[in-house]
Chain A
Amino acid sequence: MSGQKTGSYNDEKLMQFILYGDRQAFNELYRRYNQRLYYYFFRMLGNSRELANDFLQDLFLKIIENPARFNPDYSFKTWIFSVAYNMCKNEYRRQEIRKGVFTETDLLLDPVLPQEISKEELVNRIFLELDELGPEQRTVFIMHYREGFQINEIASVLEMAPGTVKSRLFYTRKYLAEKFQHFMDQIEF
């Protein structure tokens, strides 16, 4: 890397360095994305820290094993989230996670929200409600509200038309508004 600090390179360039076995570049890329991807996996996979850690590790192992899979002409951010999304989708298919893990939490969920609720609890409730929806809706929600992805970027990750993404987002908002009717005075989804 000819002595230049890794922090000054963009993600795509770092991936090129990784292709030639540059450890610093890998560490930098991990530093940039580990927290974001951990959150994504955590919220996508039933709020499980164990699964989030396992999936995070598997995702970066994929990069180590075959960095040439990434095409530097495209955005790394979009690419890595599309890999993460596909991993979650495969996990859903493999374990039928929604029927297995989430049903138990659904049963415990009190349908009546308290009059006063902390922000943390509210977010947890939102994600528990989102567990009822498919992985596409949840991914759209996280990418839009957490990662700040544009509609076109989400469309690229999910390989669907931007109009479909908009519709998924609209449906998710509507769904949450219905679920949180108690907060309609305060919540305007």
Chain B
Amino acid sequence: MNDKILKQLIAQDFAGVPDPETELRLQRAFILRSAGYKTRQNSFSGFFGWLFTPRQVFAKMAFAVIITAFFFIRPGLNTSRHLPVVIDSTGIDQSRVQDSAFLRLPGRANNDSVF
């Protein structure tokens, strides 16, 4: 019996098959475990965990600076009434906007519109 025949002999050896119950038990275990994975995927705990920990603090600070700068730069969000532009998606200050629907006619005391 040489090495090749020994290999053949061992390769053909049959020791039976695993218990099918083992597979069923493993599948049940996997379902239980994967349910845990999905809950974690859909939760915000990971995000809040990241937000309130010192990890990547410089990235978070840079993001905060960009947001703050955006609020300062954007004119629509400026609440000063001396600035001329007052129109954005949230509303129109009609007292300072002239359009076809709102005409101030000379000589009229009140501000009623005339069509």
Q: With A and B bound together, what is the CA distance between A188 and B1 in angstroms?
A: 4
Count A-B contacts at CB 8 Å: 80
- A contacts with B, residue count (CB < 8 A): 38
Check if B25 sits within 8 Å of A57, measured CB to CB: yes
Minimal Cβ-Cβ distance residue in B for A27 = B27
Q: Which residues of B contact A173 (CB under 8 A)?
A: 3
| Interface presence of A171 (CB below 8 A) | no
**Residues of A contacting B: mostly:** helix
* Interface SS of B by simple majority: helix
Partner of A146, one of B10, B26, B38: B10
Whether A56 is near chain B, meaning CB under 8 Å from some CB there, is: yes
Distance in Å from the Cβ of B7 to the closest Cβ of chain A? 5
A101 partner residues in chain B, CB cutoff 8 A = none
> B25: which A residues are within 8 A, CB to CB?
57
Q: Number of contacting residues on B, CB 8 A?
A: 27
The answer to whether A64 touches B30, judged by C-beta atoms less than 8 angstroms apart, is yes
Contacts of B23 in A (CB 8 A): 30, 34
Cα-based distance from A120 to B13 in the complex (angstroms): 7
Given A53-B22, A64-B26, 7 more A-B residue pairs with CB atoms under 8 Å apart are A26-B27, A34-B23, A47-B15, A65-B33, A123-B13, A126-B9, A188-B1
